[in-house]
Structure 1
């Protein structure tokens, strides 16, 4: 078969399995099986060219079968893009989502708007490391501490730290990875009252709302998904408590949450000493994150 026929057959198989983006996934996996960029697949298809000699048909069919079984695309390719980074992912680590890029942007924009030199940033519930590593790469002179509880996930974070440092050597001196409980008072205790910005994507899915997508339900670690209570608020509230202690007066918290949790978390933040907490939207216009400044100045 030529490249168009190969893609169409794979797309039909993925669509029949209920995959949301069958054409995109078929193209990306073909590029992966051929060792070329997705844009090169588009070009070959447009020019009516045959499949490249580098294409491994057996590997491609095996990857399509895995995807049709609803294994996450990122597990099959072994990596995921996030802002200006590309990180390694697989079983045991939460796959970064585009909505989290908006959360990071809100924090970076706040720092830039206040012209804070050499800001001190904490990433609570680090996961793959994309939040803290993005901050370290994008914010010149920043010093970042990242906390992750799960040992298997921490291993992924460390792997991605090394991956980023290979391209950005200065990050190695400014990014500090800690294995520990992000909500515990003793974690990073020596930083209390000194942090400019806390950014967090904590577990927040309500335990009463098990995700329908097999890619999420069956593959993302439960520790990274569920917020510790029926409404999913228990862990986000504890992150607010910890941030209130870590931040200096006038420091900011940006925390991702479920679209149902905005009002409750604004009220909780206000009760914990944050001024004028507000809810920010993601790129689809859904209420996605809490933004709050610690009162005091």
Structure 2
């Protein structure tokens, strides 16, 4: 075994040395956030917080003091090896942050991304600006439930209908619905999951013309643009990634058509899309029932999501 792949011994003397060695291993594996990931794995394996790791490093504590049990030290080595092989950090720890929530994630469900938080914020800002209480919100392609659960817990009285076709992903939606419901008891009455095709005209047909907001993060990656990141390409389900055509627009276009039927006159539609699809989503929305449509950028300035009104 060479120097680059030799495991970190569980009895490494000091926390600082353990953290730096772990970060170096992850960096050699091509992980941009190597130190952050190593720190989070240290915390998770020992059942501690990130601030506990910082404190232990600052105090020059021994690794065995931070993680007293052999099980915890072994768990750290196992987690580190998994991350080194480019398994998503969120799969290893079993959860992912999204806005004010901590959601369970794992194989079979798309890991929520920070850029999708902007999509949610757009909808919440619109609801607030229009003074809506108990708005009707439809989340198409729910996945982990991130979008709909965020709105249900942040917007007073929001009534949310979530739609997810993939049965394995829907299991994660339900899991998070119950998890979040432990903190927000009203969620039981205010959040509903429909396991169905979000593009089908009969799905939630009783809501047609009544939704205040329709919001979606559909699969949209062009089939010709396979992601380079192993964490995305090899672990996120294909059904949550690819938009069904060479340009990735087939499913987003069907979502736009379904949203146009669901949303009421004057209502809002927000949809995340690929950075290459801004102009096309705007044009398609304007041609299919939306009087106003524009694309908004993410925090890096790239066109990221469609905002349209009836």
Common fold by TM > 0.5? yes
Instruction: Indicate the SS of the match to 1:167.
Output: coil
Contact 1:35–1:54 at 8 Å: present in 2 too? no
Shift of 1:228: 0.5
Indicate yes or no: 2:307 matched with 1:291. Answer: yes
For 2:47 and 2:199, locate their aligned partners in 1 and report how far apart those are by CA, in whole Å.
Answer: 42
1:193 & 1:30 partners in 2: Cα distance? 50
Q: State the distance in 2 between where 1:30 and 1:231 align.
A: 41
State how 1:36-47 maps to structure 2 within 5 Å: 36-47=48-59
Closer/same/farther in 2, CA of residues 54 and 239 from structure 1, 3 Å limit: farther
Partner of 1:209: 225
The structure 2 residue matched to 1:240, chosen from 232, 240, 256, is 256
Question: Which residue of 1 is the match for residue 103 of structure 2?
Answer: 87
Query: In the TM superposition, what is the alpha-carbon distance from 1:275 to its structure 2 partner?
Result: 1.8
8 Å Cα contact 2:142/2:173 also seen in 1: yes
Q: Distance in 1 between matches of 2:57 and 2:297?
A: 37
Distance in 1 (alpha carbons) for counterparts of 2:275 and 2:60: 45
**Please, which of 7, 13, 37 is the counterpart of residue 25 of structure 2?**
13
CA root-mean-square deviation: 0.8
d(CA) in 1 for partners of 2:204, 2:89: 35
> Where does the alignment leave 5 or more consecutive residues of structure 1 unmatched?
none
Map of 1:167 onto structure 2: 183
Kindly tell me the number of residue pairs found equivalent between the two proteins.
294
Gaps of 5+ in 2: 1-11
Task: State whether residues 203 and 225 of structure 1, in contact with CA within 8 Å, keep that contact through their aligned partners in structure 2.
Answer: yes
Distance in structure 2 (CA, Å) of the matches to 1:117 and 1:19: 44
Deviation at 1:54, TM superposition (A): 4.2
1:54 and 1:136, CA in 2 relative to 1: closer, same or farther beyond 3 A? Answer: farther
Equivalent residue, structure 2, for 1:114: 130
Q: CA deviation at 1:47?
A: 2.0
**Distance in 2, Cα, partners of 1:50 & 1:114:** 55
Match of 1:258 in 2: 274
For the residues of structure 2 that align with 1:251 and 1:132, how far apart are their CA atoms? Answer: 17
- The farther-off stretch of 194-203 and 272-281 is 272-281
TM-score by length of 1: 0.98
1:45-80 CA-partner distances (Å, limit 9, x unpaired) = 112222314461111111111001000000000000
1:282 aligns with 2:294: no
- Which range is displaced more, 75-84 or 54-63? 54-63
Q: Which ranges of 4 or more aligned residues in structure 1 deviate by more than 2 Å? A: none
